[in-house]
Amino acid sequence: MNVKKQMTDIGKDIKILKYNIKRKFKKSVVLARNLFDVCKVTCDTQTSLEAEAYLYSVEANYFIFNRKFEQALDLLKKSWKIYENVARVKDTIESISYKEKINQLKTNIRLCQYNLNVWY
């Protein structure tokens, strides 16, 4: 998010900044995938589901940045379903944080749907 803010502040070195952002997004996807792989082996089912939803949302953000809205939309919907199921299981205090994540995902889903409708 910090790099995105810098991108709006800087005008002339935008190509270098976009390259750096893309590289950081790729790195975050790799780290999220590693986290999911570790959680799948060592953690309980709920934690591995949360790691999977996190991986999907990070990958979706990477696809949104690369303007691949169809792939991003698929991943966001998968992440949304996982967070929704986890929120049903949790108690009311913990479910509030999951509902907040779902609202953030809905915003990105609307962004993808808008861009898909515009481009197709």
pLDDT number for residue 52: 94
- pLDDT for residue 7 is more than 80: no
Reported as a pLDDT band with limits 50, 70 and 90, residue 120 is very low
pLDDT number for residue 98: 84
- pLDDT for residue 14 is more than 80: no
Q: What is 2-119's CATH number, 1.10.3450.40, 3.40.720.10, 1.10.420.10, 3.40.50.300?
A: 1.10.3450.40
Contacts of 14 (CB under 8 A, 6+ apart): 7
Quickly tell me which residue has 């749907």 as its tokens: 113
Contact yes or no for 39/51 (Cβ under 8 A): yes
Tokens of 70: 């169809």
Q: Please state, in angstroms and rounded to a whole number, the distance separating the CA atoms of residues 101 and 60.
A: 14
> ∠ CA 69-71-74 to the nearest 5 degrees?
105
